[in-house]
């Protein structure tokens, strides 16, 4: 009796099972149980182990958990905070005081709206560029609300200008806020997430990381860096059951968009495959989905929410 090797799996796996042949070289079939040594003697070679049933993962409701939303007083951050609140999630958000804008009043309106949905709220002035201030804000949020389970890095700014006219201050302020600020917040929540073996992080990037317009070198670079930070954090934190993803919105109907020339909005609506710009809630729903257990096997990904703008 001779022995030969027969390929029984796709080439990429290169798995072989040995079978016997008679004197004429014709294969002698085994009973299917023979490969595993169940009947008719033992067969040498690879044995395919039976697939184990997947472990049952208990669903974790969002209700009663705690989310930190940076820049949550206005715009997209406010929409995200409200969407969390509608799901029963307690919310902490920060804001910064700006000249010519009464952000404190807007923060109070947002806090009132959140409390009206029956949740606990903590809000405070905190500049995400200041690592010490971020650490204090995160620790106080945990103490006030009973922990932290979700982080949405939404705080961001833009200082537009042609590349050859852009000063160091305009470059540095955008990168420090949009990238370093997100890093400060990630680093501040990571120990708690790792200790509790659970956490969801969503960073707000932008479609302009992929298709930048004129005069936004600092902003486009910062949002591309946020995408890199997202993927790197997903690698670092994945082993402790922490999901890290990003959303990349197109134009969103916020106060920032209202400051742009009208022709920019018209062009955005025309170039969108859906013929419109996003409402803040369109993006907020994606953010809260990524924080839900329905998205528990998604990490290191960037979800573009731009109405097909980058395909136009």
DSSP 29: P
Q: How far apart are the first and last CA of the chain?
A: 66
**Burial label, 97 (beta-carbon count in 10 A; 0-12, 13-18, 19+):** exposed
Nearest-angstrom CA–CA distance, 226 and 203: 7
Inter-axis angle of helices 217-237 and 168-175, to 10 degrees?
30
Please tell me the predicted confidence (pLDDT) of residue 261.
Answer: 82
Match 């501040």 to its residue by tokens.
188
Distance CA 283, CA 204 (A): 10
Residue labelled with tokens 């992080």: 201
In order, the DSSP letters of 48-103 are: PPPPPPPPPPPP--STT-EEEETTTTSHHHHHHHHHHHHTT-EEEEEE--BTTB-H
The partner residues of 153 in beta bridges, in order of sequence, read 203
Question: Angle 185-252-67 (CA atoms, 0-180°, nearest 5)?
Answer: 30
Sheet containing 150-153, strands listed edge to edge, beginning at the edge strand earlier in sequence: 121-125, 90-95, 66-69, 150-153, 199-204, 242-249, 302-305
Neighbours of 197 (CB within 10 A): 10
- CATH 3.40.50.720 region(s) of the chain? 66-311
Q: Other CB atoms closer than 10 Å to residue 57's CB: what's the count? A: 10
Tell me yes or no: is domain 66-311 CATH 3.40.50.300: no
With CA atoms as reference, report the closest residue to 184 among 218, 227, 224, 137. 137
Q: Hey, what are 50's tokens?
A: 């039976």
The SS3 assignment for 215 reads coil
Q: pLDDT (tens digit, 0 to 9) for every residue of the chain, 312 residues total?
A: 444 444 444 444 444 444 445 555 565 554 444 433 444 444 444 555 555 554 544 457 899 999 999 999 999 999 999 999 999 999 999 999 988 888 999 999 999 999 999 999 999 999 999 999 999 999 999 999 999 999 999 999 998 899 999 999 999 999 999 999 999 999 999 999 999 999 999 999 999 999 998 999 999 999 999 999 999 999 999 999 999 999 999 999 988 787 778 888 888 899 899 999 999 999 999 999 999 999 999 999 999 999 999 897
Q: How high is the pLDDT of residue 36?
A: 39
Residue 63: the pLDDT is: 97
Residues assigned a catalytic role = 219
Burial class from Cβ neighbours inside 10 Å (0-12, 13-18, 19+) for residue 204 reads buried
Give the integer Cα–Cα distance in Å for 244 and 258. Answer: 30
Rounded to an integer, what distance in angstroms lies between the CA atom of residue 184 and that of residue 46? Answer: 50
pTM attached to this predicted model: 0.81
Q: Give the DSSP per-residue string, 277-301.
A: PBPHHHHHHHHHHHTSGGGTT--S-
């Amino acid at each position: 009796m001779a022995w030969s090797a027969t390929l029984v799996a796709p080439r990429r796996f290169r798995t072989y099972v040995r079978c016997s042949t008679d004197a004429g070289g014709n294969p002698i079939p085994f009973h299917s149980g023979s490969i595993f040594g169940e009947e008719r003697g033992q067969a040498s070679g690879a044995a395919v182990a039976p697939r184990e049933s997947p472990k049952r993962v208990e669903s974790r409701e969002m209700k009663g958990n705690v989310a930190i939303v940076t820049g949550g007083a206005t715009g997209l951050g406010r929409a995200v905070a409200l969407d969390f609140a509608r799901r029963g999630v307690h919310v902490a958000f920060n804001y910064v005081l700006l000249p010519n804008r009464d952000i404190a009043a807007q923060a109070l309106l947002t806090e009132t709206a959140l409390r009206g949905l029956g949740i606990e709220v903590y809000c405070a002035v905190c500049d995400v560029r200041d690592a010490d201030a971020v650490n204090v804000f995160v620790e106080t949020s945990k103490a006030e609300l009973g922990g932290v389970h979700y982080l949405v890095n939404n705080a961001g700014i833009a200082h537009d200008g042609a590349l050859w006219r852009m000063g160091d201050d305009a470059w540095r302020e955008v990168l420090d806020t949009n990238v370093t600020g997100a890093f400060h917040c990630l680093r501040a929540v990571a120990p708690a997430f790792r200790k509790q073996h659970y956490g969801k992080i969503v960073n707000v990037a932008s479609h302009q990381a992929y298709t930048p317009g004129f005069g936004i070198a600092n902003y486009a670079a910062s949002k591309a860096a946020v995408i890199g930070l997202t993927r790197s954090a997903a690698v670092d934190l994945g082993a402790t059951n922490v999901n890290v993803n990003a959303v990349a919105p197109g134009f969103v109907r916020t106060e920032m968009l209202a400051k742009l020339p009208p022709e920019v909005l018209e062009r955005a609506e025309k170039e969108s495959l859906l013929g419109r710009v996003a409402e803040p809630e369109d993006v907020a729903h994606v953010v809260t989905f990524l924080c839900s257990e329905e998205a528990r096997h998604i990490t290191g990904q960037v979800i573009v929410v731009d109405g097909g703008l980058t395909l136009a």
